[in-house]
Structure 1
Amino acid sequence: MARRDASDLAYRLGQQAEAVCRHYLSSGRREGRYWLVGDVRNTPGRSMYVRLKDSPKGPAGKWTDAATGEHGDLLDVIRESCGLIDFKDVADEARTFLSMPHPEAHASRKQAPAPHGSPEAARRLIRMSQPIMGTIVQAYLRERAITDLRGTGSLHFHPRCYYRPDEHSPTETWPAMIAAVTDLGGSITGAHRTWLDPRHREKAPLDTPRRAMGDLLGNAVRFGIGGEVMAAGEGIETVLSARQVLPDMPMMAALSAAHLAAILFPDTLRRLYILRDDDPAGDSARDTLVERANAVGIEAIVISPQLGDFNEDLSTLGIDAIRSQTRVQIGSQDVARFMAIAA
């Protein structure tokens, strides 16, 4: 049904292609049989062209971005220029533009749209993303001295992730690292976004370049399959920094000090290493987590950085320093089991 609806709406939009372009791609202009604009997100420029009339080369409304190779139809234009994710929202916007009646909702037959920030919205965002290898996410992590990316299937890349500073501001698009937050059973409950600056391979110059969505409490971004021994820390980069010298140890990133303190323990867990951040919030999370672990018979061992956190240690002091300091803080049996041998 959705595919048939999409084809019908795309055709109807194509019959009014120039009006659609004037409304959603207002930064461009008509030249001959095409509408020229910078990209599908309405950036000024001339690299994207939209066919305004049916021709032997294709129907009206089809577009191609010569700079990126992207292509699509006018439903894609509505989705990208309006910052929409769900097809229902795109279809509703298209029907509004076309002055078409909106179909009545039948709860028993139609899926309700995912509420903004919900676990379902998080799952859809992750499905829209791609692996990180060869992307700016890999380059960003490399800039932070994180080069061993084994077991990082929970991380994804989205080339144009929507960002709105607040409800009164226009939607922007930035590349982003998307991390899947999962529960103890492996089900995705949320997503964490880190928007990136493609020019400098660092966090994007935004007021809040990191945001989470979905259900986070008790859950985590997981690296490796949990067992009797695991490590847990706050940030993704902190945890990945520790994994540079402990690549075989399963780890969890709780995404904040408060969520680290509340992380849920797998039934198999017998020893938990706590990757402490050296600040008051990190101290509080450490104390709470140690108390909770000990109360259920889990051995809790704190590993402390020399500087503010483990990524700062890795980036500033180097991998040999973090290997040396970690070696003396973990159990000898775990050195042999989990620690990577220095090259």
Structure 2
Amino acid sequence: MAHNPHDLARRLADRAEAVCRHYLSSGRREGSYWLVGDVRNTPGRSMYVRLKDSPKGPAGKWTDAATGEHGDLLDVIRESCGLVDFKDVADEARTFLSMPPPEPMPANPRQAAAPHGSPEAALRLFGMSQPITGTLVQSYLRERGITDLRGTENLRFHPRCYYRPNEHSPTETWPAMIAAVTDLGGKITGAHRTWLDPRRRDKAPLDTPRRAMGDLLGNAVRFGTGGEVMAAGEGIETVLSVRQVLPDMPMLAALSAAHLAAILFPDTLRRLYVLRDDDPAGDGARDSLVERANAAGIEAIVISPQLGDFNEDLRTLGIDVLRSQTRMQVGPQDVARFLGVAA
């Protein structure tokens, strides 16, 4: 009996036309494709679902030409039924396929409850998203002074990412920046969502416009491949602001002060730059991270902003001031290497 998402998606793909007739009933078949308005079953023709395996790709895969969204038939079930949790999507798929429910896992009182939003769900969300070039994410970052986006493949754009204020509220959809959280080996363990307001090119007007999902402890959003020198900070925008003046230095965003203090060190790391936020939580993360690094034989150098954080410095003081202030705090051995100027 198959219960993992890949097997469920494959079983659905074997019955792709029946799935489309049931969940995308507003569309119709044309040749080897099912055409419909979008994955939420709106009438139209911009979305097409491949009904048979072909050299162009496997059955069950779909693309919305109007938005760039793409996915498989599990995504069709989720979106057309308005489901949020993957368990509900899988249950619906098994019902359609007339499969028996999965056997319950044996109880283990010592096992901690799984966090809301699994690594598997994070991987699927990242896979459904698209590169940020030419999207609202690029506009949002430019509005924050971040224009050099080399090495930001771990960032993507989702045009309609689910947002639910609480378990009793209806689900909304907003555009979002999706960031992949990865472990030291590059495996996606989680995702971070920043919901955006397309009218203002800023964060969406929500109570919590940033949320993370999956396994975060020790992991991070990574920019560049870690080596003997690396920088680490809290927020994505903070780290990308420093990358505007140190574009070749590998960096990571831990997403919070607590997670910054707990990042895992690559075996190759010899010198760590700690990008501090100027607040009590930032001070605590700095102290804990420096202590851990020193205990591991890693040189730790703290870089501090003039204002509250490095993105505030970049937006308020300008890139030239940020470059000058960063140069004074970077070790002499790294000035020429990463700033491109003589020490």
TM-score w.r.t. the length of structure 2 is: 0.77
C-alpha separation in 2, matches of 1:123 and 1:308? 33
C-alpha separation in 2, matches of 1:253 and 1:336? 24
Partner residue, 2:180: 180
C-alpha separation in 1, matches of 2:145 and 2:303? 19
What amino acid does structure 1 have at the position aligned with 2:18? Y
**Change beyond 3 A, Cα 1:276–1:10:** same
Match of 2:100 among 100, 103, 121: 103
Partner residue, 1:80: 79
Partner residue, 2:270: 270
What amino acid does structure 2 have at the position aligned with 1:166? N
- Runs of 4+ with deviation above 2 angstroms: 1-18, 37-43, 46-50, 64-79, 81-96, 100-107
Residues 85-94 or 200-209, more deviating = 85-94
Asked if 2 retains the 8 angstrom alpha-carbon contact of 1:10 and 1:75, the reply is no
Query: How is 1:46-65 mapped onto 2 (pairs within 5 angstroms)?
Result: none
Asked if 2 retains the 8 angstrom alpha-carbon contact of 1:230 and 1:273, the reply is yes
- 1:29-64 residue CA offsets vs partner (Å, 9 max, x unmatched): xxxxxxxx9975589xx87899xxxxxxxxxxxxx9
Query: How is 1:139-218 mapped onto 2 (pairs within 5 angstroms)?
Result: 139-218=139-218
Partner residue, 1:14: 21
Report how many residues are paired.
303
Match of 1:5 among 12, 16, 32: 12
- 1:76-112 residue CA offsets vs partner (Å, 9 max, x unmatched): 665224444788744643776x8x85534379xxxxx
Q: Does 1:330 align with 2:330?
A: yes
Shift in Å, 1:320 = 0.3
Partner residue, 1:284: 284
Asked if 2 retains the 8 angstrom alpha-carbon contact of 1:6 and 1:91, the reply is no
Asked if 2 retains the 8 angstrom alpha-carbon contact of 1:115 and 1:121, the reply is no
TM-score w.r.t. the length of structure 1 is: 0.77
| RMSD across aligned positions (CA) | 3.5
Partner residue, 1:221: 221
**Change beyond 3 A, Cα 1:13–1:151:** closer
User: Identity of counterpart residues, as a percentage?
Assistant: 80
Asked if 1 retains the 8 angstrom alpha-carbon contact of 2:117 and 2:214, the reply is yes
Aligned partner of residue 328 in structure 1, secondary structure: helix
Residues 81-90 or 122-131, more deviating = 81-90
Shift in Å, 1:180 = 0.9
Aligned partner of residue 329 in structure 2, secondary structure: coil
**Change beyond 3 A, Cα 1:5–1:77:** closer
Aligned partner of residue 177 in structure 1, secondary structure: strand
Q: Which has the larger radius of gyration?
A: 1
Shift in Å, 1:188 = 1.2
Partner residue, 1:24: none
Q: Does 1:238 align with 2:238?
A: yes
C-alpha separation in 2, matches of 1:309 and 1:252? 15
Shift in Å, 1:129 = 1.4
